[in-house]
Amino acid sequence: MSTIKPTPAPTLRRLPKYLEYLHEAKRKGIASISCTTIANDLKLDSVQIRKDIGITGIVGKPKTGYNVDELIHSIEKHLNWDDMSSAILVGAGNLGKAFLGYENFKKYGLNIVVAFDKDRNKIDGNIFNVPILHIDKMVDLTYRMKIHIGIITAPADEAQEIAELMILSGIRAIWNFAPRHLDVPDNIYVENAELSSDISHIKRRLKEITDKEKKYSESN
């Protein structure tokens, strides 16, 4: 059925973008929308949007487009945002704690239910209603709670060890914010947050832009 073919990664990256836009449109009271309109506003290609949207299974009407509510529902269902997944977080430093209070994750169907740290000084009850426990308790608790998503916000040199513990805990997918490659079995999915990649993009493109401008001004 819907899962014979995996959704292409670029599509998966764009779908949330459409969703954000569609929620905004809905708030403005727009009932139906076409790919052409979305493409104009987001400065993307309408054919690409139509294809991406089509993957989620919805069918549109010529001349009108799609019903906004149905479209939102179709995408959210495809992305599994409609059923809330529980997650654990390991590493209650600045970034980890910030995530515990980051409300948007819930919108995306991700609920951090408990956090762990190896530093007993950081284990001071709850932060944003999420309990912070010692890492010793992770494997047993996570396994019993049947949680399958783990977030690593610990320092790089602890990441591999944490990943291995997570796998013991029954974690199947790891969201890794530590700048370290994780060596895991094939049946474990790792999503690297790659803040460094973002910065690389920014710095390189900035260089490309300014170099080009310099060249242009020199040739005049």
Partner DNA sequence: ACATTATCGATATAATTATATCGATATAAA
Partner DNA sequence: TTTATATCGATATAATTATATCGATAATGT
Residue number with CB closer to a second copy (24 or 136)? 24
Cβ atoms < 10 Å from Cβ of 138: 24
* Binding partner of residue 189 among DNA, a second copy, none, CB cut-off 5 to 8 Å per kind: a second copy
Judge contact between 88 and 105, C-beta under 8 A.
no
Task: Determine, following the binding rule CB under 8 A, whether residue 211 of this chain makes contact with a second copy.
Answer: yes
* Binding partner of residue 143 among a second copy, DNA, none, CB cut-off 5 to 8 Å per kind: none
Site string for DNA, 12-51 (x = CB under 7 A): ----------------------xxxx------xxxxx-xx
User: Rounded to the nearest whole angstrom, what is the least distance from the CB of residue 48 to DNA in the complex?
Assistant: 5
Judge contact between 132 and 92, C-beta under 8 A.
yes
Task: Determine, following the binding rule CB under 7 A, whether residue 11 of this chain makes contact with DNA.
Answer: yes
User: Rounded to the nearest whole angstrom, what is the least distance from the CB of residue 35 to a second copy in the complex?
Assistant: 15
Give the span between the Cα atoms of 143 and 69, in whole angstroms. 37
Helix then strand then coil, % of the chain, to nearest 5: 50, 20, 30
Task: Determine, following the binding rule CB under 8 A, whether residue 193 of this chain makes contact with a second copy.
Answer: yes
Q: Is 18 exposed, middle or buried (0-12, 13-18, 19+ CB in 10 A)?
A: buried
Give the span between the Cα atoms of 92 and 124, in whole angstroms. 10
* Binding partner of residue 57 among a second copy, DNA, none, CB cut-off 5 to 8 Å per kind: none
* Binding partner of residue 207 among a second copy, DNA, none, CB cut-off 5 to 8 Å per kind: a second copy
* CA-only gyration radius of the chain, Å: 21
> Looking at 28-36, 64-72, 102-110, 131-139, which segment touches a second copy (CB under 8 A)?
102-110
Residue number with CB closer to a second copy (98 or 168)? 98
> Distance of CA 187 to CAs 89, 101, 143, 148, 161, Å?
20, 30, 17, 12, 18
Judge contact between 132 and 147, C-beta under 8 A.
no
**Residues at the interface with a second copy (CB under 8 A):** 3, 6-7, 9, 12-13, 15-17, 19-21, 24, 41-42, 78-81, 85, 94-95, 97-99, 101-102, 104-105, 108-110, 148-149, 156, 172-173, 175, 179-181, 183, 187, 189, 191-212
